[in-house]
Amino acid sequence: MKKILIATEKPFAKSSVDGISKIVTDAGYEIVLLENYTEKAQLLKAVEHVNAIIIRSDKIDKEVIDAASKLEVAVRAGAGYDNVDLEAATAKNVVVMNTPGQNSNAVGELAIGLMLYAARNFFNGSSGTELRGKTLGLYALGNTAKYLSKAAQGLGMEVYAYAPTKDDRYLQAENVKRANSPEELFEKCRYVSLHIPLKPETKEIITYELLSLMPKNATLVNTARREVINEDGLLKMFAARKDFKYVSDIQPAKKEAIDNVCDNRMYCTPKKMGAQTAEANINAGIAAANQIVGLFKNGDRTFQVNK
């Protein structure tokens, strides 16, 4: 009987785990659960005899792939798969998939919450500002950015996107205006929200030069990945611009140094929480389980990312 492991350092809601288990057992497979693990050794042991794994931001490197000698498929229940060593997986014929769109609304809603928190001066008692009538710039226009855009427009924001791979019809359907370059996006928008995946070509692309173009009272929102920001540039921006705020779902590596210069104008969630809702857990977890069953029963590789 094939074994399917759920390996989550940051667990899904129980309702999601129950849903995944039902799909797996109804299909005639066995579920194995490793939640809240703290040591890599626990993961290495858990993967030994399984045919499939469902993960979140859990790091699946070459050592984990090598330890999983029966592994056929790894599904990242979520969007970004920068935590999986695709080369190592491909070398062992392991199919890697993600579940695009399934947790996007949750992340989009968190971005709204972070923007409101910044706009109200982190509830420090002073008069804040409203989002209505302000400009929001989306760096990329995938699933999360689209949910964020709809909510922001509902609040009366004017939305721009830098999305060079999307055509005009796509932007028009979202009622989003095009920024032709990152520079134009940062220049035009008081709020900029990042929605780029982490790849070698997106590493540290958010520089001081870009940030310094932002209008007065600017806020940068990062629910993407820590590594897309050049943290020395962020530090320089805080030092140079006393009106600038940064809100994020990921703690910077240089948090202490930034804390020393930012005068409480930065807020980062203590843990990555964007996709941590019951709804997102259910959507992404169940999609992952269905994709594994689809692959085992019908050879369906629709969401494979290591082709």
Closest separation in Å from C-beta 148 to ligand 3PG:
14
Say if CB 80 and CB 59 are below 8 A apart: no
Shortest Cβ 79–ligand 3PG spacing (Å):
4
108 vs 137, which CB is nearer to ligand 3PG? 108
The residue (of 27 and 273) whose beta carbon lies closer to ligand 3PG is 273
Q: Cβ of residue 263: shortest distance to ligand 3PG, in angstroms?
A: 29
Closest approach of Cβ 304 to ligand 3PG, in Å?
A: 17
Separation of alpha carbons 216 and 57, rounded Å? 35
237 or 285: whose CB is closer to ligand 3PG?
A: 285
Q: By beta-carbon distance, which residue lies closest to ligand 3PG?
A: 78
Q: Are 67 and 61 in contact (CB under 8 A)?
A: no
Compute the distance between CA of residue 85 and CA of residue 96 in angstroms, rounded to an integer: 9
Q: How far is the CB of 111 from ligand 3PG (least distance, A)?
A: 12
250 or 293: CB nearest ligand 3PG: 250
Q: Quick one: 174 or 249, whose CB is closer to ligand 3PG? A: 249
- Long-range Cβ contacts of 16-23 (<8 Å, 24+ apart): 16/278, 16/281, 16/282, 16/284, 16/285, 16/286, 17/285, 19/282, 19/285, 19/286, 19/289, 20/54, 20/285, 20/286, 20/288, 20/289, 23/286, 23/289, 23/290, 23/293
* Residues within the interface to ligand 3PG (CB under 6 A): 10, 56-57, 78-80, 103, 272, 274-276
